[in-house]
């Protein structure tokens, strides 16, 4: 039997113990239903092999595929599924809800497990994500936390979340801090990013405001999908501020991992040459080489980031609901600011 889901919410609310993606590992790595585990019935190499044989003989390809699926299914049953009891209820999907998922489901059913297959497979999940993030207006009420570089916006967002405020952490979902200095490791694929976003949005209550950090339309290599970007551009803002020197000290601490890697820092600064020219970037590189990290942070903000933020705000002409001065940006000051923002959000 197969079960159809029309929306992201329906997928995530489905009452199954485990969601199993039986596609090849490379397919799963690009994108999958959040929370699903990968039990491939064909590896990447095996899938390519079956595809090659199929061009010569569909019958021989199905025969080869059946043997491979049976072997891999046995490994999964004896391995990851070995501790599952008789009442376990899995949901299985492949690319289209076809042979791979149904073949695995048949074997699981013979054991006695009550298994369902996703009608349309992964493609139906992707269709639901596109419908949510590309084709319709989001029902959420967003409020942006806005401020120049170094105003601890991400830190404040996390502190509001710790106080049970509703937040959407775009940088966390994208695994990137939003500038050329913001790499945090490998980013997800665009499809994977959108799946994570869709799941995060589905968990939020549209009746309550959602705090989200003001970002550009790109976070590292990823694009904010159009429905979310349109909502962010139209959203009112809470503006946070601090003096340049205070921000510089905070930024030097927040990016300590990058500062310690002189070669990486130089490479990131080189990316600014097309925007700022060789002379200015050379001066910044000299600061980095001397270890004048706070001076470098202040120069980058004053000469590069602050002017760009001002231009972006001028384009969108945002409505500012409140202003928060972060003072010395100590932990206590940030905690007080987060408490005030949380109270303010509760009144909206």
Cα–Cα dist 100/23, whole Å:
8
* DSSP helix/strand/coil, 205: coil
> Does residue 94 have an active-site annotation?
yes
Is residue 125 exposed (0-12), middle (13-18) or buried (19+ Cβ within 10 Å)?
buried
Please name which of 339, 201, 220 lies closest in space to residue 268, comparing C-alpha atoms: 220
- Considering the candidates 64, 81, 94, 201, report the single residue annotated as catalytic: 94
DSSP string, 99-128: HHHHHHHHHHHHHT---EEETTHHHHHHHH
Residue 322, strand partner residues = 238
Rounded Cα–Cα distance for residues 342 and 158 (Å): 11
Q: Where are the strands (E) in 288-347, listed by range?
A: 320-325
Contacts 24+ apart (CB under 8 A), 74-83: 76/39, 77/107, 77/108, 77/111, 80/37, 80/39, 81/39
Nearest-angstrom CA–CA distance, 181 and 265: 8
Whole-Å CA distances, 196 to 8, 155, 248: 11, 21, 32
How far is Cα 141 from Cα 235, in angstroms, rounded to an integer? 8
Quickly count: other Cβ atoms within 10 Å of residue 127's Cβ. 15
List the catalytic residues. 94
């Amino acid at each position: 039997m197969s079960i159809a889901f029309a929306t992201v919410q329906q997928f995530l609310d489905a009452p199954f113990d485990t969601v199993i993606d039986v596609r090849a590992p490379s397919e799963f790595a690009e994108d999958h239903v959040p929370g699903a585990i990968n039990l491939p019935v064909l590896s990447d190499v095996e899938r390519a092999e079956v595809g090659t044989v199929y061009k010569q003989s569909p019958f021989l390809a199905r025969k080869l595929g059946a043997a491979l699926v049976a072997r891999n299914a046995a490994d999964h049953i004896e391995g990851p599924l070995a501790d599952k009891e008789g009442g376990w209820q899995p949901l299985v999907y492949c690319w289209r809800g076809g042979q791979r998922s149904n073949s695995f489901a048949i074997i699981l059913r013979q054991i006695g497990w009550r298994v369902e297959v996703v009608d349309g497979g992964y493609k139906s999940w992707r269709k639901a994500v596109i419908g949510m993030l590309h084709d319709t207006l989001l029902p959420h009420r967003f409020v942006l936390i806005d401020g120049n570089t170094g105003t601890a916006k991400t830190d404040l967002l996390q502190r509001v979340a710790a106080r049970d405020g509703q937040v959407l952490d775009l940088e966390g979902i994208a695994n990137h801090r939003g500038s050329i200095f913001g790499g945090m490791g490998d980013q997800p694929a665009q499809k994977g990013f959108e799946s994570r976003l869709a799941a995060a949005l589905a968990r939020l209550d549209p009746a309550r405001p959602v705090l989200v950090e003001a970002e550009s339309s790109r976070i590292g290599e990823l694009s904010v999908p159009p429905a979310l970007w349109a909502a962010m551009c139209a959203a009112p803002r809470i503006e946070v501020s601090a003096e340049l020197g205070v921000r510089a000290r905070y930024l030097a601490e927040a990016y300590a991992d990058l500062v310690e890697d002189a070669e990486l820092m130089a490479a990131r600064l080189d990316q600014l040459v097309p925007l700022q020219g060789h002379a200015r970037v050379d001066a910044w590189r000299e600061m980095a080489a001397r270890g004048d990290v706070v001076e470098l942070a202040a120069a980058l903000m004053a000469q590069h980031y602050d002017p760009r933020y001002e231009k972006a705000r001028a384009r969108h002409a945002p409505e500012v609901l409140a202003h928060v001065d972060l003072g010395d940006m100590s932990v206590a000051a940030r905690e007080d600011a987060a408490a005030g923002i949380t109270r303010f959000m509760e009144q909206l």
